[in-house]
């Protein structure tokens, strides 16, 4: 009955609010300061309001609850369990008993706390609660470091034993009570300590509680690369406008928006003081007002294109690069890439300009060969460019994938030009006539990482003496980055291979620590004299030194590329001059086995080397500390020739 | 024929020399500057002279050799293959061609060198040569770092691919030619760079070449913890005495002796200049003189006791601690430990003094229970002490290992006292009378690590109200150490478990970076009120901060213990007050997953925790950097209760 009543009242609020009611709700939870759980759950009202409720797990504490209150499916999906603030209790006891200096009694109390912690964790596990909120560490007193280290051990033990997802509550700025504030930020550094102690376990995250204190932008930047799963908004942090509706002051709103971009879940936190000062109905009303305000904030988020929304889904997903030379791609993959109209219009422009430059040769029929034609997008570009340039062209589509060849053979081309489809490996074909232009799209996220150099060297035989290649040049770029979230995923696999793999990844929650620098460069066609039978002319070694933005750990290197198609027509994934609207390539990420802590510079070494049938990368850091060479002999990852 | 001739002449030298000809020869090798290999091997003369010969592998260089020269068994056992100094050649070429700035030509030359290197490595593999000497890195020129990093990559590749043992030739002090000497030691830091790049592979070691330059003792200390497999002694480094016999000046001799303590193989190196300046017979003669002098040096090495010689064999051998509670020991293990007369005389003294103190109680028969009696050494100590103190005693031998019980039951005791042998677990026995003294030897390398606290807590039931335990107290100690050789062995296993294991190890090639500090302390008997059913009173947590000796990497912690048996009678493995002559315990070593580089201090956290049937240690470093907690939940190692 009460639920229905609430429903009506909520709907009123809902329709009054400023956010678009027909869009998807932003994920927001709320904590439960009341004793009767089913009553609290009334705040949730199905899927239309709060996504989840945070409920204390304490079974021996003041709030005691029966597991029968809810069905298991609800415990799992809608309840985040809160471990009681046992560390505070422990600190009070050590203070009262003045036993900080007695190791034996201190140990006893320490391990007593562990029993409380384990009991609550076991209770959560029994109920089937998967999401856990852990209490805030200690920031004051003589023993705060020791208490936190022991707390870290408890978390480390639980997280390696119990299947759960723990978020530790950390205030944005810690309350140091009467203690003198030092330069360090204890809350942030304590999180780093606990994170490292727990071996960057990806099941450990942060519930970051907003505090009123002013913080610098660079400090927020530090938190942006950490796994902040929840942003906690205390009731009292909201201001009220003239109509008595809650809102956040500009500085706080900006912080909240920064996290909302990454889909960080929000928690509205009703404090014990709020429960004491306000009656229950008022609290519910106020909670919903805050909820509506936060939903309204979604209108201030940057509007994403359809492609960007798709990209978002892949945020920090680690993918292995394609092996289009060794494997045959599937139709769906071609389909996705063919949708990148920006990229193909650049190709068309490049072919068009090349034909214009060739055009002085009157009446000549220009031979264009699309090598690695796939399902034919570049072939259509070549046809379009020929028509725009009013050139006669003879167009070949060369493709090794027998399935794609079937598509090519049956395809109707716009402009009705006939296309000669050749099923062969571009490196082995002996053509009836030579090409003026070969066009290819063999680049990977790191430029040469899908073996474009080797393929195009092989395809040079198809080219006339003055023929050109589109692209004619490409350069890879590297930049050191910091991303705790990314590194912890890789570390969690805990295999040598996981750190010796370059990943294709849509980077998010990361920060570039320097300016990208050029790594490897390839030019096509190259003088025949430089081509070596053993392919060693395509082996490269680059040693780069970067100055680093201070205050961050280095986790690895992001790789980009820039390709010159023809003249000034380029494709670039390097953020400094990225081709706008192009989405075919995510960056590549070369991880480091050991993060480099807080260094002011870094020297790194990258190799592109191989054997008779493989190419691979090796990389390391040689200064100021030296790391093992990653992927020696291509033992973990390689690309098949 | 020639071989026999040499034989005669060598024998003459041999008998003339000053070293004890009937002792085992110290391992010394020699390089081969001549073109005819079988002639060179004549220097070896079976097992009585040089242990091995260093021979160039170059097949395209000036010295070309046929694989038929020797039988495979000789290639494997007596020849160390030398890779030609291709880096020098490379550097000359880059300088001559003045192409340091042209990346493409530089890359080409770089990878040309790799072909030379790989050809020689493959040639060695084909011949079956296992030991390889690698050329000296480059220390001068604009590109020395880059050349060395690429060299490191070649080594890293070979060592992960080919089954061989590579020693890189490094001069003690590098020759910088005309370059200004900076503060850094390029030779040492280049070795560290290559070692780290090769992931501290234990198949990579150093052939350290003595140079005439003066070096500080602390610099030699740095080399002592590195895997120096060979010490190379150039011909010209020797001085001559009045009889024209070669010797080393005091400073050089001291360095050589330091390495000889660790059985580092010596190589007498005949240089190209020597070959040019001296005739062959003279060189052979001089080489043998040097050989004899070096053999003579063995007389200056510290004389080792039989036990110390046995210990030496276990140098840096990583052993897992015993589990005497969970497993039943074998007779051989008892036998080894029973030979430690120092330890047992301390026990006898402790029992004796305890009996003297008890003796005021006239005419009382004192009950002594040896808990965990094994094959009975402590029982004999108790009998001896009783007789010395002229006390009447009733002696029990309690043992859970059924095999050891058979030995106990059949043993004849010196002093003909009768002993009551009880086959039971000391924690479960209900005795007919209570003991005045319980005596035990349950300590491990880290004191409590074989579960002495848990066993003796259980055995407290056997004790009268004022009864005593021998030992009555024990404390473990920790000290941060540096040992590249030890760490690389553990790293080579490349499993999580290998770094989460405390090893029992006879430490050598290590250095303590600070003074040992107390870790955990246990007292017996403890007040009954303190004993907890769940054993949590034996859980411990210690946070320690150490100042560190500068200039070394921290690889882990050595653990020792000190036990108070009775009164002032102690057993200690802590180097600062070690019980002289006692050999039952090697130190324990707690490794760190990631070495801490060159820090001035360290905070570490150690826990002794458990579950209902296990005890384990967890440890980490929390400052200045934080590491993962090692062995969470005892997932890798534990001791069974």
Rounded Cα gap, residues A391 and A388, in angstroms: 8
Tell me the chain A residues in contact with residue B161 when contact means C-beta distances shorter than 8 Å: 633
Residue located via tokens 């955990």:
B520
CB contact under 8 A, A496 and B494: yes
Q: How confident is the model at residue A629 (pLDDT cuts 50, 70, 90)?
A: very high
Residue B526, pLDDT > 80, answer: yes
Terminal CA-CA length for chain A: 70
A326 among annotated binding-site residues: no
| pLDDT tens profile B558-616 | 999 999 999 999 999 999 999 999 999 999 999 999 999 989 999 999 999 999 899 99
A396 touches A369 (CB < 8 A): yes
Mean pLDDT, chain A, whole residue set: 87
pLDDT at B70 over 50: yes
Tell me the per-residue pLDDT of B236-282, one tens digit each, with 9 for 90 and over.
Answer: 999 998 888 999 999 999 999 999 998 899 999 988 888 788 787 78
Q: Does the annotation flag A425 for ligand binding?
A: yes
* DSSP letter string, A400-433: --HHHHHHHHHPPPTT---EEEEES-TTT---SS
Cβ-nearest to B197 among A160, A597, A629: A629
Instruction: Give how far B545 is from chain A: nearest CA, Å.
Output: 12
pLDDT tens column, B395-451: 999 999 999 999 999 999 998 888 999 999 999 999 999 999 999 999 999 999 999
Question: B63 falls in which pLDDT band (50, 70, 90)?
Answer: very low
Please answer yes or no on whether A597 and B625 come within 8 Å at the CB atom.
Answer: yes
For range A324-341, the mean pLDDT: 86
Residue B111 and residue A145: Cβ atoms within 8 Å?
no
**Has A12 been labeled as part of a binding site?**
no
Partner-chain contact A622 B536, CB within 8 Å:
no
- Point out the residue among A150, A152, A620 whose CB comes nearest to the CB of B197: A620
- Which of A594-598, B178-182, B211-215, B323-327 is least confident? B178-182
Question: What is the model's pLDDT at position B15?
Answer: 41
Mean pLDDT over each residue of chain B, to the nearest integer: 87
Indicate yes or no: CB of B108 within 8 angstroms of CB of A145. no
Residue A18 confidence class, pLDDT cut points 50, 70, 90: very low
Cα–Cα dist B571/B565, whole Å: 7
Percent of chain A with pLDDT over 90: 58
The DSSP annotation for B517-539 comes to EEEEEEESS--GGG--TT-GGG-
Catalytic residue among A441, A454, A500, A618: A441
CB contact under 8 A, B193 and A626: yes
Token pair recorded at residue A304: 């994403």
Q: Which of chain A's residues have a Cβ under 8 Å away from the Cβ of B601? A: none
Check B632 against A196: CB less than 8 A apart: no
Position B182 scores a pLDDT of: 62
User: Smallest Cα–Cα separation from B72: which of B130, B3, B134, B2?
Assistant: B130
> pLDDT band for position A358 (50/70/90)?
confident
Partner-chain contact B149 A107, CB within 8 Å:
no
Residues A573-616 have pLDDT tens digits of 999 999 999 999 999 999 999 999 989 999 999 999 999 899 99
In angstroms, the separation between the Cα of residue B543 and the nearest Cα of chain A is 7
Confidence of residue A330 (pLDDT cuts 50, 70, 90): confident
- Min Cα distance B112 → chain A (Å) is 9
Instruction: Give residue-wise pLDDT tens across range A37-96.
Output: 555 555 554 445 788 888 888 754 544 556 666 666 767 778 889 998 888 887 777 777
Would the pLDDT of A6 be above 60?
no
Cβ-defined contact of A628 to B196 (cutoff 8 Å) = yes
Q: Coil, strand, or helix at residue B121? A: helix
Mean pLDDT of A424-450: 94
Mean pLDDT, residues A262-274 taken together: 89
Nearest-CB residue to A157 (from B111, B597, B632): B632
Contact B496 A496 (CB under 8 A): no
Contact B368, B352 (CB under 8 A): no
* Residue A455, token pair as written in the block: 């393929």
Chain B CB contacts of A625 below 8 Å: 196, 597
Q: How far apart are CA B315 and CA B549, in angstroms?
A: 23
Concatenated DSSP letters for A173-192? S---TTSPP-SS-HHHHHHH
Q: Say if residues A589 and A559 touch (Cβ distance below 8 Å).
A: yes
Whether residue B13 is predicted with pLDDT greater than 60 in this model: the reply is no
Burial B76-111 (b: 16+ CB within 10 A, else e): eebbbbbbbbbbebbbeebeeeeeeeeeeebbbbbb
Residues of A in contact with B605 (CB under 8 A): 149-150, 153
Q: A197 and B626 in contact by Cβ < 8 A?
A: yes
User: Model confidence at B89, in pLDDT bands (50, 70, 90)?
Assistant: confident
Q: Chain B contacts of A628, Cβ < 8 Å?
A: 156, 196-200
Phi and psi, residue B476, nearest 5°: -95, 155
Within 8 A of B160 by CB-CB distance, chain A residues are 632-633, 635
Neighbours of A226 (CB within 10 A): 20
Q: Is A459 helix (H, G, I), strand (E, B) or coil?
A: helix
Q: Quick check: A193 and B626 CB within 8 A?
A: yes
Which candidate from A149, A197, A607 shows the least CB-CB separation from B628? A197
Nearest by CB to residue A632, choosing from B157, B620, B628, is B157
Residue B111 has a pLDDT of 83
Q: Which residue of A has its CA nearest to B197?
A: A628
pLDDT at A528 over 80: yes
Nearest beta carbon to residue B607 from set A153, A160, A536:
A153
Residue B20 has pLDDT above 50, yes or no: no
* CA B513 to the chain's CA centroid: 16
What pLDDT is stored for residue B3 in this prediction? 31
Q: Is the ipTM of this complex over 0.90?
A: no
Q: Do B192 and A536 touch (CB under 8 A)?
A: no
**Strands B28-31 vs B265-269: parallel, antiparallel or unpaired:** parallel
Cα separation of A478 and A542, whole Å?
A: 11
- What lies within 8 Å, CB to CB, of B547 at 6+ separation is B514, B600, B601
What integer is the mean pLDDT of A261-270? 92
* pLDDT at residue B623 greater than cutoff 60: yes
- Chain A nearest CA to B613, separation (Å): 17
Rank A217-221, B156-160, B613-617 by mean pLDDT and report only the highest. Answer: B613-617
Residues of chain B found within 8 Å of residue A111, distances taken between Cβ atoms: 536, 539, 609
**Separation in Å, CA of A220 to nearest CA in chain B:** 22
* A14 pLDDT higher than 60: no
The CA distance from A210 to the nearest CA of chain B, in Å, is: 26
pLDDT at position B23 is: 58
Active-site residue identified among B174, B209, B226, B441: B441
Establish whether A399 is an annotated binding residue.
yes
Within 8 A of A541 by CB-CB distance, chain B residues are 107, 110, 146, 150
Q: Is pLDDT of B1 > 50? A: no
Place of tokens 């460019």: A385
CA-nearest residue to B633 within chain A is A157
Q: What pLDDT does A125 receive?
A: 87
Q: Does A10 score more than 50 pLDDT?
A: no
Predicted confidence (pLDDT) at residue A20 exceeds the cutoff of 60: no
Structure tokens belonging to residue A277? 């000062």
The highest-confidence range among A277-286, B332-341, B552-561, by mean pLDDT, is B552-561
A614-626 mean pLDDT? 95
In this predicted structure, the answer to whether residue A8 has a pLDDT above a threshold of 70 is no
Q: CA of A632: which chain B residue's CA is closest?
A: B157
Which residues of B does the annotation place in the binding site for S-adenosyl-L-methionine?
A: 334, 343-344, 399, 425-426
Between B598 and B148, the more confident residue is B148
* pLDDT given for residue A609 in this prediction: 95
Q: What is the pLDDT of residue B39?
A: 57
CB-CB under 8 Å, A629 with B199: yes
Q: Which residues from chain A sit within 8 angstroms of residue B199, using beta carbons?
A: 628-629
Stretch A545-560: mean pLDDT, rounded? 96
Q: Two tokens at B504?
A: 């029992």
* pLDDT of B515 over the 70 cut: yes
| Residue that the structure tokens 């970067």 belong to | A546
Asked if A310 contacts A347 with a C-beta cutoff of 8 angstroms, the reply is no
Q: pLDDT value at position B248? A: 94
Among B607, B578, B451, CA closest to B520:
B607
Q: pLDDT band at B317, cuts 50/70/90?
A: confident
Q: Report the C-alpha gap between A264 and A38 in whole angstroms.
A: 26
What is the rounded CA–CA span in Å between residue A599 and residue A552? Answer: 8
> Do B319 and B444 meet the contact criterion of CB atoms below 8 Å apart?
no
A12 is catalytic: no
Lowest mean pLDDT among A327-341, A404-418, B308-322, B542-556: B308-322
What is the structure's pLDDT at B37?
Answer: 56
Which residue is closest to B496 within chain A, CA to CA? Answer: A494
Structure tokens at A402: 């027998």
- pLDDT at site B215: 86
CB contact under 8 A, A108 and B494: no
State the catalytic residue, choosing from A450, A454, A500, A618. Answer: A450
Q: How confident is the model at residue A137 (pLDDT cuts 50, 70, 90)?
A: very high
Chain B interface, best mutation among A536, A632, A635, by max B CB count within 10 A: A632
The partner residue sitting opposite B628, judged by closest CB among A196, A537, A539, is A196
State yes or no: is B313 an active-site residue. Answer: no
Nearest C-alpha in B relative to A200? B628
- Treating both helix axes as pointing N-terminal to C-terminal, what angle do B217-224 and B250-261 enclose, rounded to 10 degrees? 20
Residue whose pair of structure tokens reads 């909120």 in the numeric block: A133
A5 or B68, higher pLDDT: B68
Mark out the alpha helices in B225-299 (DSSP H runs): 250-261, 272-277, 280-297
CA angle (B300, B303, B308) in 5-degree steps: 140
The C-alpha atoms of residue B592 and residue B618 are separated, in whole angstroms, by: 11
Whether the predicted pLDDT of B19 surpasses 50: no
Give me the pLDDT at residue A99, please.
60
Is residue B16 very low, low, confident or very high in pLDDT (cuts 50, 70, 90)? very low
Is A369 marked within a binding site? no
- Which of B145, B199, B626 minimises the CB distance to A628? B199
Which range among A119-123, A176-180, B473-477 has the greatest average pLDDT? B473-477
Cβ-based neighbour number of residue A201 at 10 Å? 20
Residue B481 pLDDT greater than 90, yes or no: yes
Instruction: Residue A590: name the closest of A528, A500, A466 by CA.
Output: A500
């Amino acid at each position: 009955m009460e639920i229905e009543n609430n429903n009506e009242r909520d709907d009123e609020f809902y329709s009054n609010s400023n956010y678009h009611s027909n869009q998807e709700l932003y994920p927001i939870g709320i904590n439960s300061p009341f004793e009767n759980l089913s009553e609290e759950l009334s705040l949730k009202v199905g899927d239309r309001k709060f996504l989840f409720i945070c409920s204390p797990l304490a079974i021996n504490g003041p709030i005691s609850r029966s597991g029968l209150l809810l069905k298991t499916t609800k415990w799992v999906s809608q309840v985040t369990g809160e471990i009681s603030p046992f560390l505070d209790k422990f600190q009070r006891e050590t203070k009262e008993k003045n036993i900080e200096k007695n190791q034996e009694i201190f140990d006893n109390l320490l391990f007593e706390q562990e029993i409380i912690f384990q009991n609550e964790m076991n209770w959560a596990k029994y109920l089937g609660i998967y999401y856990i909120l852990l209490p805030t560490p200690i920031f004051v007193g003589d023993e705060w470091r020791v208490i936190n280290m022991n707390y870290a051990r408890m978390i480390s033990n639980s997280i390696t034993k119990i299947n759960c997802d723990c978020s530790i509550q950390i205030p944005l700025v810690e309350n140091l009570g009467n203690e003198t504030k030092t330069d360090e930020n204890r809350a942030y550094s304590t999180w780093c300590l606990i994170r490292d102690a727990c071996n960057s376990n990806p099941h450990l995250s942060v519930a970051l509680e907003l505090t009123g204190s002013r913080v610098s932008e660079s400090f927020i930047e530090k938190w942006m690369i950490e796994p902040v799963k929840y942003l906690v908004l205390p009731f009292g942090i909201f201001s009220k406008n003239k109509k008595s509706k809650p809102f956040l002051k500009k500085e706080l709103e900006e912080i909240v928006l920064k996290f909302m971009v990454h889909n960080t879940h929000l928690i509205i936190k009703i404090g014990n003081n709020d429960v004491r000062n306000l009656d229950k109905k008022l609290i519910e009303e106020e909670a919903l007002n805050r909820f509506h305000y936060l939903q309204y904030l979604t209108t201030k988020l940057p509007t994403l294109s359809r492609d960007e929304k798709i990209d978002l889904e892949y945020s920090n997903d680690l993918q292995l690069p394609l092996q289009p030379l060794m494997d045959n791609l599937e139709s769906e993959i071609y389909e996705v890439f063919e949708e990148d109209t920006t990229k193909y219009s650049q190709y068309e422009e490049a072919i068009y300009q090349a034909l214009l430059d060739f055009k002085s040769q009157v009446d000549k029929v220009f031979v264009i060969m699309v090598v690695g034609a796939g399902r034919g997008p570049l072939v259509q570009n070549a046809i379009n460019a020929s028509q725009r340039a009013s050139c006669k062209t003879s167009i070949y589509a060369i493709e090794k994938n027998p399935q794609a060849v079937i598509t090519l053979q049956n395809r109707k081309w716009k402009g009705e030009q006939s296309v000669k489809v050749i099923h062969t490996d571009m490196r082995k074909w002996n053509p009836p006539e030579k090409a003026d232009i070969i066009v290819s799209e063999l680049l990977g996220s790191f430029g040469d990482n899908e073996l474009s150099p080797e393929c195009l060297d092989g395809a040079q035989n198809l080219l006339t003496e003055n023929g050109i290649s589109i692209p004619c040049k490409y350069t890879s770029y590297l930049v050191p980055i910091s991303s705790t979230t990314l590194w912890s995923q890789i570390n969690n696999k805990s295999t040598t291979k996981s750190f010796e793999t370059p990943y294709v990844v849509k980077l998010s929650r990361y920060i570039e620590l320097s300016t990208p620098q050029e790594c490897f460069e390839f030019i096509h066609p190259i003088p025949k004299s430089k081509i070596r039978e053993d392919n060693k002319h395509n082996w490269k070694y680059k040693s780069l030194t970067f100055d680093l933005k201070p205050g961050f750990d280095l986790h690895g290197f992001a790789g980009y590329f820039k390709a010159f198609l023809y003249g000034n027509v380029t494709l670039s994934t390097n953020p400094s001059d990225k081709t706008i609207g192009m989405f075919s390539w995510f960056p590549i990420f070369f991880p480091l086995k050991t993060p480099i802590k807080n260094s002011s510079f870094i020297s790194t070494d990258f190799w592109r080397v191989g054997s008779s049938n493989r190419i691979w990368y090796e990389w390391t850091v040689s200064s100021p500390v030296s790391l093992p060479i990653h992927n020696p002999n291509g033992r973990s990852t390689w690309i098949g020739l």
